């Protein structure tokens, strides 16, 4: 049972602590009557969680692909349901991303949320619990419960604190995700019954010799659930609606963390549990990814609403992530993992920045934000960096991610990779268009002279994200090091280690001589 798990040796159950601390943070919200105090208490709790989570990084053993900091308690022994937690190089960075973003979400909602402040903060904290749980769970039932639990606070975030069409958007979000979840449940139960002895342990389901047909069915069920979450073209239509209506913090959580659960699902379940089916379906997934990249780019180019623009850009960026995952080589998967983090950092920051404009002008229309640059120079400097990061400017985080994904893709299949290149061009087009409009506008901009530049709180919100943009962009080694072992192990699990080119240096040998 324990052969895949390294039991936590820190002396305190760090993973459980991280999961339950946010829930504990809800308690003061129930007691406190003062909104300001509630904000400070939530900020303190989320910051504490962020600091604790850093321990994970420093104590993480980079040399093993086993699940670390493990906790294992029997829960419902009759059906072999356990409370099993553990993390590896694939989930570590996503957990850190989640914990580091939450204080920023609280900060960016400081003045944005004016009604029902305490319930809002409670929703954020419950979100955090379930998000962290999803990334840590190694038992399918536990995973599924947390996966579903996430829907409710997210639904509330949109439906209660959202914009004018919040009911439409929240229901759409809920129905789409639920549809995927139902199939996920079916797949989980099918896997449970197929294993002998029956088990819900995720690592034990990996590496089993399921029949090809069974794999295909399970893969398809998984795929639909995760593809909706990512969202992959053509399952993306809930995303722009949800983003546009969600409050800033909701958009940030949605874009930075929730979308990653889909791609995390591909890495954690599809590839190791149904490797054969993954290989069979690979071409289709690759082409869907490319379609998403191009489609997201073109649609983003046509938007006049800044939030929609960034939402559609997410479709494109996540297309790069799925492209990287399904080329099944080290560069592709590591690039995809890094790109997940990058997208979380950059798109999160961009949503925060749109929120800042919205707080001031009460509009997300590009035309209304035109020419802001003259009066908000600090804002514009931040926006410039994050926009450049979003279009994968060299020297920023996204460039490294996109570069690795494309290296992986070109090593695998040149045609698919070449078809993704226009997506990179489009990213430059729509991001620079937005930047140009916001900074300069045209010859007749609306009067922006009443705008005030960023205050200290807002600068503190954005500064850490900018730090990561440049840090990952110029020195990605600390982030890449933790994933190497796990990614290599994953590729072995997929069992194609010998079939495809692994390192860039081997690829040269494959080149056809003249």
12 counts as binding other proteins under rule CB under 8 A: no
Q: Which one among 418, 463, 467, 499 touches other proteins, defined by CB under 8 A?
A: 418
C-alpha 278/C-alpha 500 separation (Å) is 14
| CA separation, residue 232 to residues 171, 270, 321, 465 (Å) | 19, 15, 10, 26
Residue 510 φ then ψ, to 5°: -80, -15
Least distance from C-beta 392 to other proteins, angstroms? 8
Cis amide linkage into residue 197, ω under 30° from 0: yes
Q: In this structure, are residues 329 and 408 in contact, taking their beta carbons and an 8 Å threshold?
A: yes
Q: Which one among 30, 78, 193, 477 touches other proteins, defined by CB under 8 A?
A: 477
425 counts as binding other proteins under rule CB under 8 A: yes
- Closest by CA position to 157, among listed 252, 79, 76: 252
Q: Which one among 132, 156, 169, 424 touches other proteins, defined by CB under 8 A?
A: 424
Kindly state the DSSP code that residue 374 receives in the 8-state scheme. Answer: G
Q: In this structure, are residues 257 and 96 in contact, taking their beta carbons and an 8 Å threshold?
A: no
Least distance from C-beta 406 to other proteins, angstroms? 5
140 counts as binding other proteins under rule CB under 8 A: no
Q: Using the rule CB under 8 A, give the single segment among 386-394, 447-455, 459-467, 485-493 that binds other proteins.
A: 386-394
C-alpha 180/C-alpha 177 separation (Å) is 5
219 counts as binding other proteins under rule CB under 8 A: no
Least distance from C-beta 404 to other proteins, angstroms? 7
Q: Residue written as tokens 């208490």?
A: 41
For other proteins, how many residues bind (rule: CB under 8 A)? Answer: 39
- The CA-based dihedral angle spanning residues 62, 67, 69, 73, taken in that order and rounded to the nearest 10 degrees: -170
Least distance from C-beta 342 to other proteins, angstroms? 14
- Closest by CA position to 494, among listed 357, 293, 332: 332
Q: Using the rule CB under 8 A, give the single segment among 8-16, 252-260, 361-369, 469-477 that binds other proteins.
A: 469-477
Q: Using the rule CB under 8 A, give the single segment among 127-135, 242-250, 410-418, 458-466 that binds other proteins.
A: 410-418
508 counts as binding other proteins under rule CB under 8 A: yes
Q: In this structure, are residues 380 and 297 in contact, taking their beta carbons and an 8 Å threshold?
A: no
Question: What spatial distance separates the first Cα and last Cα of the chain, rounded to whole Å?
Answer: 53
Q: Is 52 or 507 the residue whose CB approaches other proteins more closely?
A: 507
What's the longest Cα–Cα distance across the chain?
77
449 counts as binding other proteins under rule CB under 8 A: no
395 counts as binding other proteins under rule CB under 8 A: yes
Q: In this structure, are residues 293 and 319 in contact, taking their beta carbons and an 8 Å threshold?
A: yes
Q: Using the rule CB under 8 A, give the single segment among 94-102, 231-239, 291-299, 403-411 that binds other proteins.
A: 403-411
142 token code pair: 């536990």
400 counts as binding other proteins under rule CB under 8 A: yes
436 counts as binding other proteins under rule CB under 8 A: yes
C-alpha 413/C-alpha 419 separation (Å) is 10
217 counts as binding other proteins under rule CB under 8 A: no
Q: Which one among 17, 23, 291, 421 touches other proteins, defined by CB under 8 A?
A: 421
Q: Is 432 or 463 the residue whose CB approaches other proteins more closely?
A: 432
Q: Is 17 or 504 the residue whose CB approaches other proteins more closely?
A: 504
Q: Is 194 or 433 the residue whose CB approaches other proteins more closely?
A: 433
C-alpha 306/C-alpha 295 separation (Å) is 17
Least distance from C-beta 507 to other proteins, angstroms? 5
Q: Which one among 257, 290, 300, 407 touches other proteins, defined by CB under 8 A?
A: 407
447 counts as binding other proteins under rule CB under 8 A: no
Q: Which one among 14, 106, 188, 404 touches other proteins, defined by CB under 8 A?
A: 404
463 counts as binding other proteins under rule CB under 8 A: no
203 counts as binding other proteins under rule CB under 8 A: no
Least distance from C-beta 388 to other proteins, angstroms? 7
Kindly state the DSSP code that residue 77 receives in the 8-state scheme. Answer: G
C-alpha 464/C-alpha 385 separation (Å) is 13
Q: Which one among 226, 269, 379, 410 touches other proteins, defined by CB under 8 A?
A: 410
Q: Is 78 or 510 the residue whose CB approaches other proteins more closely?
A: 510
* DSSP per position, 382-441: HHHHHHHHHTT-TTSHHHHHHHHHHHHHHHH-HHHHHHHHHHHHHHHHHHHHHHHHHHT-
Residue 307's Cβ-count burial label (10 Å; 0-12, 13-18, 19+) is: buried
Neighbours of 243 (CB within 10 A): 25
Neighbours of 283 (CB within 10 A): 12
Per-residue interface string for the shown chain with other proteins, residues 488-507, x marking contact by CB under 8 A: ----------------xx-x
Least distance from C-beta 89 to other proteins, angstroms? 17
474 counts as binding other proteins under rule CB under 8 A: yes
63 counts as binding other proteins under rule CB under 8 A: no
406 counts as binding other proteins under rule CB under 8 A: yes
Q: In this structure, are residues 314 and 347 in contact, taking their beta carbons and an 8 Å threshold?
A: yes
319 token code pair: 């297309």
Binding residues vs other proteins (CB under 8 A): 388, 393-395, 400, 403-404, 406-407, 410-411, 414, 417-418, 421-422, 424-425, 427-429, 432, 436, 440, 442-443, 474-477, 480, 504-505, 507-508, 511-514
């Amino acid at each position: 049972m324990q052969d895949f798990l390294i039991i936590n040796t820190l002396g305190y159950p760090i993973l459980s602590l991280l999961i339950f601390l946010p829930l504990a943070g809800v308690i003061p919200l129930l007691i406190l009557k003062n909104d300001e105090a509630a904000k400070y208490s939530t900020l303190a709790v989320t910051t504490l969680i962020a600091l604790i989570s850093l321990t994970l990084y420093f104590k993480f053993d980079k040399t093993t692909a086993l699940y670390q900091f493990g906790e294992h308690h029997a829960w419902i022994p009759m059906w072999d349901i356990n409370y099993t937690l553990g993390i590896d190089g694939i989930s570590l960075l996503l957990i850190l991303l989640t914990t580091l973003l939450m204080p920023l979400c609280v900060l960016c909602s400081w003045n944005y949320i004016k009604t029902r402040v305490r319930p809002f903060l409670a929703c954020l904290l419950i979100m955090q619990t379930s998000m962290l749980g999803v990334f840590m769970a190694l038992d399918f039932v536990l995973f599924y419960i947390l996966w579903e639990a996430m829907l409710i606070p997210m639904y509330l975030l949109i439906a209660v604190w959202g914009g004018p069409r919040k009911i439409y958007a929240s229901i759409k979000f809920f129905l789409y995700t639920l549809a995927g979840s139902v199939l996920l449940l079916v797949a989980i139960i099918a896997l449970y019954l197929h294993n002998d002895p029956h088990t819900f342990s995720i690592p034990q389901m990996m590496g089993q010799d399921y029949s090809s047909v069974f794999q295909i069915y399970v893969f398809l069920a998984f795929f639909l659930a995760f593809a909706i979450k990512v969202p992959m073209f053509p399952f993306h239509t809930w995303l722009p609606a949800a983003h546009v209506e969600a409050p800033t913090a909701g958009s940030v959580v949605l874009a930075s963390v929730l979308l990653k659960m889909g791609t995390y699902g591909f890495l954690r379940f599809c590839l190791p549990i149904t490797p054969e089916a993954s290989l069979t379906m690979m071409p289709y997934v690759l082409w869907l990814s490319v379609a998403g990249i191009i489609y997201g780019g073109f649609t983003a180019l046509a938007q006049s609403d800044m939030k929609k623009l960034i939402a559609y850009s997410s479709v494109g960026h996540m297309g790069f992530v799925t492209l990287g995952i399904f080329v099944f080589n080290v560069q592709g998967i590591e690039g995809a993992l890094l790109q997940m983090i990058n997208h979380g950092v950059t798109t999160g920051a961009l949503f925060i920045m749109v929120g800042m404009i919205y707080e001031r002008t009460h509009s997300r229309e590009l035309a209304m934000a035109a020419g802001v640059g003259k009066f908000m120079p600090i804002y514009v400097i931040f926006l410039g960096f994050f926009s450049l990061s979003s279009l994968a400017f060299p020297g920023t985080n996204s460039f490294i991610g996109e570069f690795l994904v494309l290296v992986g893709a070109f090593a695998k299949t040149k045609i698919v990779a070449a078809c993704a290149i226009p997506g990179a061009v489009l990213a430059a087009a729509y991001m620079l268009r937005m930047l140009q409009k916001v900074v300069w506008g045209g010859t007749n901009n609306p009067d922006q002279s009443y705008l005030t530049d960023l205050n200290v709180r807002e600068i503190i919100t954005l500064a850490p994200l900018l730090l990561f943009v440049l840090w990952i962009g110029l020195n990605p080694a600390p982030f890449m090091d933790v994933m190497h072992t796990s990614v290599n192990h994953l590729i072995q699990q997929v069992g194609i280690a010998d079939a495809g080119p692994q390192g860039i240096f081997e690829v040269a040998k494959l080149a056809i001589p003249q």
